[in-house]
Amino acid sequence: MLALCWQLSNTSSDLVSKTLRHIKNAVSVLSPGELEDWLGRAFDLLDSSGLDAVASFLERSAAAELAAFKDSAVVRLEEVSARLEVYLKGLSGIDFRVSASAGLSGPGNCYTNGPTIFLPREINAFDAAEKNLLLYRLAAVHKWAQAAGGTLAPPLLFPLFADRQLALDLYNILESIRLDAFLERQVPGLFEKTRPLRTEFLSRRQLKLIPSGQTKKTVFVEGLFELYLAMGQDGAPYNVEIAGGAMKAWQKARRHESAAEGALALFELYRLVEGSCPGLYMPIDTSYIGVIRPDEVRHEQQKEALARRRRFEETVEEILDMPDFGPGAPAPAGRKRAIPFRSAEPGKTYLFIRGRLIELDPELLKELSAGERGENPFPGRGAC
C-alpha cells in the first residue's frame, strides 16, 4: 500500500490522496487476501500500461465495483504480466518477456520461443481468481523450465516423423513428466500449491473407456497425459487396455535427466504407439502444460545466430581497420583501443587477428565450422 503511494507520489501528491481514499473504500469491502490481489493488479497496470490505466482502475472503488472485482474469477494477462516477468527474473536471472498469445483464453495457448513466453490474454479455468492467477504463474514457470531444461533444443527433430502432431504431443508430455522433478526442486512451494489444480484438471477428463470415434492411438496419448496429471499415482482414469504401456513410458520419463534422453525415448514410444495402437491420431487438449511450437523456436534460433554472426563480423572489420601494433605497444597518437587486449584462457577457443584475441563461443564456432565445410550454418534458410 505504502509502496504504491510512494510510486504515485513521484507524479502527483494530489494523486496520492485520491489513491488513499480509494484504498480506504477497498479495505471496507475486500478481505486482506483480496486487497493484496487488488493492489497487485494496480501495480501491474502501473508497470505495463502507465499512470492513466492505474488511475482508471483505482477509481473503480465504489462498493458495487469492488464487489464485482471480488466475485470475478477471470484474470487478465495485462493485469499480471509485469508481476510474472519480475517473478521469472527472480527465479532465473533472465529477462524473459511475457506476451499475449493469439488465443483469447485457456492454458492450452501457452508456449515459448525461448526469450519470450506467450500466455493467453485471460484465464478463467477455475471459479476462483486466485486459482487462475496460480495457473498463470505455473504456465510461465513451466515455459521457463522448458527453456532452462533444454526441451526447446531439437526443433528439427519433428519433421522426421510421419505424424508430426503425434510426435509433438508425446514429446511435450514426456518432457513435462521429466520437468516435474526440476520444478519440485526449483519452486517447491509453487509445485505443492499446484497439486490441487492437477487433481481438478484430471477429474474433468475421466477417460476410462474408449469413447465412440476415438482410436487407441488417441486414447494412449490421453492416458499418458492423465498419468502426468496424476503424477503416476494409482487410480488415474486411463483406459485399461493401454495402462501398461503408458505407465512404463511415465516411469522411464521420470528418470530422464536431459532433453536428449527425452528425444531418444520419443522415437521408442512413437514406434510403440504406431505399432500397437491402430487408427489415426486425433490431437488431444494439452491444457495445463500448453504446447510446443518448434517452428517458432527455430525461427528465433536463426535470428540469434544471425545476430551473433553480425556482431562477430563487425568486430573483425573493426580490428582489420585498425593499424598494426602489438599487445605491448601504445596506441597510435589520437587513437583509443576500441577492442582491449586480452589473454587467452584455458579451455576456450579464440581467433587471433593482428595481436588481438576474439573469443568464439561454442555456437558461433559451430556455425563457422559448418561454413568452412561448405554446409549451410542456418538450416531452414537459404545459404548465407
* Domain identity same for 97 and 181: no
User: For residue 58, what is the DSSP state?
Assistant: H
| Nearest partner of 91 among 179, 177, 187, 178, judged by Cα | 187
The residue among 72, 95, 123 that closes a domain is 72
Say yes or no: 164 and 287 in one domain.
yes
Asked if residue 355 and residue 283 are part of one domain, the reply reads: no
The answer to whether residue 303 is domain-embedded is no
Q: How does pLDDT run across 209-254, given as a tens digit for each residue?
A: 455 667 888 888 888 898 898 887 755 555 555 566 778 888 888 8
Q: Are strands 122-123 and 116-119 parallel, antiparallel or unpaired?
A: unpaired
Are residue 204 and residue 279 in the same domain, yes or no? yes
231 lies in the same domain as 156:
yes
Tally of domains in the chain? 4
pLDDT value of position 192:
93
Looking at the fold, whether 13 and 124 belong to one and the same domain comes out as: no
Q: pTM value?
A: 0.68
Domain boundaries, position 49: 2-72
Residue 301: pLDDT over 60: yes
Q: What is the pLDDT of residue 203?
A: 82
Determine, yes or no, domain membership for 299.
no
Report yes or no: 107 and 124 within 8 Å, Cβ to Cβ: no
Instruction: State whether 53 and 100 are in the same domain.
Output: no
Would 298 be classed as within a structural domain? no
Query: Taking a C-beta distance cutoff of 8 angstroms, is the pair 11, 51 a contact?
Result: yes
How far is residue 318's CA from residue 299's CA, in Å, rounded to a whole number?
A: 29
Whole-angstrom distance, CA of residue 220 vs CA of residue 224? 6
In a domain, 60, yes or no: yes
Per-residue pLDDT tens for 14-51? 666 777 777 777 777 777 767 777 677 776 666 666 67
Higher pLDDT, 196 or 60: 196
User: Domain check: are 175 and 281 in the same one?
Assistant: yes
